[in-house]
Structure 1
Amino acid sequence: DNRRISPLRAWLCTHAFSSLEKFQQLELTDYSKPLIFQAETPLRKFVAYIDPENKFNIEDKLSQINTLQQLQNIASYGFLKSRLEKHELHIHALWFDIYTGEVYYFSRSAKQFVLIDEESFAKLLGEVEQYYS
């Protein structure tokens, strides 16, 4: 039925359902409570606040959720799994704001996406470097 209604709807129902479920959880809390995502392994999870300043539109909030959901999807690939479990490999999330051209890094210490700019760069770099030391 979804294919007849819309190819986009069919794709979303098949491939984006987990992101949509998380978005609906966020909606129920009026966008104020954190979401929990699975990290590199099923036993590792992290907390994420999606747009706590409420400066992005609904589509951007869903896009940020989907970006974080992709960490779990990527980590499920067999050829990466063992390296992730041994901490030989780390994955990070970047989100691109198509309207402004700005790039955001998901900071696990801040528990949210942080704009990469002159002010935040050194702190974010330090956060990334801690994974590789």
Structure 2
Amino acid sequence: MRKLIMGIVEFREKMLPQYAQQFSKLALAQTPDALFITCSDSRVVPDLLASTHPGDLFTMRNVGNLIPPATSEGVSTGDLSEASAIEYAVLVLKVANIVVCGHSECGAMKSVFSRNAKLKSPNLDKWLCHANNAAFRLEQEGPLDDRLKAHDQLSQLNVLVQLEHLMTYPIVRQQVIAGALVLSGWWFDIATGAMYAYERTSRSFEVIDRAMAERMIARLAARAR
């Protein structure tokens, strides 16, 4: 807690002067380009990993980067917090992109994979059921990358399952079909610091280096035409 408190002081004394004008503008409105859905894990820091600034990302974080699917009426089958963030991002902020970002060594995925009942955590157990389809897919279809540890294999498949859950929301599906919204699946390897993006053509997560980034941006530009 001391580190957290002193970090606030350091920001106030050293960083705030650089951001003062930006915060003044952001106080009136925000226009983020993307909704970034990721895990609560302390090792995953979206603004650091994407070199973004205040106002760039609308971020939703929870254990396991999970999105409870919606009914045909668009009502969440799980916690309303995630559904509310999706609705606000799409309907109010009108983001053009939604990214679901999983990561290596995810505690949530380890729990789903091991089915550990020793924690006596009924709320967590109920929440993690939204990753059960990913576990089933791993068992039935196998991993995207068999070089990874089993829980990391699950983590990658979980990203794809949560993208499918996103598409159960009518407002998301309508915007995607209209070409106004793009869904992307990313995966962060904590050990190497590398970010990967899922490529449907290769059915694999590929590292986002400069060449990959240029291809991704070109595809986005083509869709915007």
| TM-score calculated relative to the size of structure 1 | 0.66
- Partners of 1:3 and 1:26 in 2: how far apart? 23
How far apart are residue 119 of structure 1 and its match?
4.1
Cα distance 1:3–1:94, how it changes in 2: closer, same or farther (>3 A)? closer
The count of aligned residue pairs is 108
**Which structure would you say has the larger Rg?**
2
- When the two chains are superposed, the root-mean-square deviation of aligned CA atoms in Å is 2.5
Q: Give the counterpart letter for 2:131 in structure 1.
A: A
3-state DSSP of counterpart to 1:16: helix
Partner of 1:45: none
> Which residue, out of 72, 75, 79, partners 2:171?
79
For residues 58-91 of structure 1, give each alpha carbon's deviation from its aligned partner in whole angstroms, at most 9, with x where no partner exists.
Answer: 1111000001111111112232221122232121
Q: Quote the residue 2:136 is aligned against.
A: 21
Gaps of 5+ in 1: 32-49
Runs (4 or more) in structure 1 with deviation over 6 Å come to none
Alignment of 1:1-133 (within 5 A): 5-6=118-119, 7=121, 8-12=124-128, 14-27=129-142, 31=143, 50-51=144-145, 54-133=146-225
Q: State the distance in 2 between where 1:61 and 1:3 align.
A: 18
Deviation readout 1:21-49 (Å, 9 max, x if unpaired): 0010134xxx4xxxxxxxxxxxxxxxxxx
Call closer, same or farther: CA 1:3–1:55 in 2, change over 3 Å.
closer
* Percentage of matched positions with identical amino acids: 26
> Where in structure 2 are there 5+ consecutive unaligned residues?
1-114
Structure with greater contact order relative to length (CA < 8 Å, sep ≥ 6): 2
C-alpha displacement of 1:4: 6.3
Secondary structure of the structure 2 residue equivalent to 1:88: coil
